[in-house]
Amino acid sequence: MTDQLQAAVDAHGGLSRWNQLKTVKASLSITGAIWRLKGKPDMLKDISIEAELHRERLTTHFNGQGLCAVFEPNRLTIQTESGRLMDSRDDPRSAFRGHSRETPWDDMHVAYFSSYALWNYITIPFLYTYPGFMTEELAPWQEKR
């Protein structure tokens, strides 16, 4: 592990603490221009999530709606909180092919994008310590002022 990665891991609680944890839960409200542009301004306004930390899986609960999205690699489902399947999409990433910045999204697009993004945000920098990841520190860069 490079010095920089070690510093980042240590700043986030350390690898031994990370290995003790299994899941994280959070209540969120995600809004902003991207969601208005995509035609879904309030879809993520009041959600709670449960992320498995050592397996790529995140559940988004759409509070007050009785629905949740379950994200796993190559599959996304929308289901009732009691587990009844409402919709599913295999290979959900492929549903973005041919999109432009202005292409509106359906609920599955929003659920997939937010789920994989949140799972990555939560698990980095620890992902970079997994077998198969290679990191390399670059020389310091000084920007001209």
- Between the CA of residue 45 and those of 26, 124, 126, what are the distances in Å? 13, 24, 28
pLDDT of residue 140: 86
Q: What is the pLDDT of residues 47-88, one digit of tens each?
A: 999 999 999 999 999 999 999 999 999 999 999 999 999 999
User: What is residue 89's predicted lDDT score, i.e. its pLDDT?
Assistant: 98
So what's the pLDDT on residue 10?
96
Q: What is the pLDDT of residue 29?
A: 96
What is the pTM (predicted TM-score) of this model? Answer: 0.88
Extract the tokens encoding 107. 């609920």
Q: What is the mean pLDDT of the chain?
A: 95
Query: Reduced to 3 DSSP states, what percent helix, strand and coil does the chain have, rounded to the nearest 5?
Result: 30, 25, 45
Average pLDDT over residues 94-103: 95
Judged by phi (left if over 0) then psi (alpha if -120 to 50, else beta), residue 14 lies in left
pLDDT category of residue 138 using cuts at 50, 70 and 90: confident
Query: Which residues have a Cβ under 8 Å from the Cβ of 139 and sit 6 or more positions away?
Result: none
Q: How confident is the model at residue 134 (pLDDT cuts 50, 70, 90)?
A: confident
Residue indicated by tokens 């959600």:
47
* Strand order through the sheet with 47-52: 23-28, 47-52, 57-62, 67-72, 75-80, 85-90
Other CB atoms within 10 Å distance of the CB of residue 141 = 5
